[in-house]
Amino acid sequence: MEALAQRLSHLDSHIEGAIRVVTFYDTLMRRRVDLPALARASAGLAECVAGIRLHGTGRVIRVSPDGGETSAPPLPPSSTVTITLDEEEIGTVWLERPGPANPLDEVLLDRLAIAAAAVVERYGPARTTMADPALVELVISADSDEAARARALRLLGFPADLPVRVAAVHARLPLDRVGGLICPDRLVKAAPLADVGVILATTLDPARFPADVRAGIGAAETPNRSWRQARTALRFTTPRQPVVHFDDLGALALLAEIPQDASRDNTDVTAIAALAAGHPEDLETLDAYCATGSLRRAADLLHLHHSSVARRLEQLGKTLSIELTEPTGLIRARLALTAWRLLDD
């Protein structure tokens, strides 16, 4: 390596400098340094603030050239490179150089990103969000014995003394991004299984799900039961309520146990199905009224005058043969609407 560097140095001083940078980081990786030490060494080499951020935990390390973590307001990054591990973007490294970029900054950051990925892989039990689907299936399957489930959880990086929550999701976004958003500071694992995504975490924040994601969240402390609950909760999601926690369903969860043939044969459910097929705007009115339980609040939701909504509900009541303004009628309509939605599963 040194002989090659000597020969190349006669050709191009930039190549000589690049090789020295590569050698510098190779030495750091052989010494198995941690992320703070990596940031300190990089800041000293670059002679400006160097930063490392991990998306999964939200951890940020900013080190000044003197080796201390800096609390000064960050400058706009002069150069940035993503940290990639197992083809997943897990973080970012950058330099905050106040003047023009150094010709070797790009080489330095490339090597820093590679070294940071190696550190995370070596020391972090949850090096990426995406997990082996086979391991995830072992965790959530009702057919797994407890020893196999515990081993799978351990391989995924979860501690044995904490319950694991499960979410079932339908999302256009990549699962690793969804997992990182809902659980930014703790271990989270995700994997696609058949037609649904699985997210495992010790803590989930329902408020952090992106707007275009449907998610059901299990409540049980055992992953296999939590998975069943999460799948059930996912069936109850709607555009108005895209995230449903199983605990919040209460007795409504029993509707998911009704055989679908029995629901299809029910007069109220049949009437809702006919309404959906022929009059989607009426179905939207009924949905808003069932969701709010109030004519005026439904009107606000639909951006209509309450008298217009009242006329629609009167006609809907006749069509469905349900007195929607009575408490019993409202309950019937809510149950029928929910049972019809479960048929679409």
d(CA 265, CA 18): 74
Q: Are 233 and 246 in contact (CB under 8 A)?
A: yes
pLDDT digits over 190-207, tens only? 999 988 999 999 888 889
Alpha-carbon distance values, 118 to 147, 187, 275, 330 (Å): 31, 18, 58, 59
Q: Does domain 258-343 have CATH number 2.60.120.10?
A: no
pLDDT reported for residue 162: 82
Residues 264-306: pLDDT tens digits?
Answer: 999 999 999 999 898 889 999 999 999 888 889 988 988 889 8
Q: How far is CA 43 from CA 39, 61, 62, 67, 180, in A?
A: 6, 11, 9, 7, 28
Q: What pLDDT is attached to residue 12?
A: 55
pLDDT at 156: 85
Domain ranges in the chain? 2-123, 133-253, 258-343
* CATH for the stretch 2-123: 3.30.450
Cβ within 8 Å of residue 308, ≥6 positions away: 299
190 contacts 176 by C-beta, under 8 angstroms: yes
Instruction: Locate 209 and state its tokens.
Output: 């799900």
pTM: predicted TM-score of the whole model, two decimal places: 0.64
Q: What is the pLDDT of residue 161?
A: 77
Residue type at 272? I
133-253: which CATH architecture? 2-Layer Sandwich (3.30)
The residues pairing with 83 across neighbouring beta strands, listed in sequence order, are: 91
Which residues of the chain, if any, have pLDDT below 70?
1-13, 56-58, 123-128, 185, 344-345
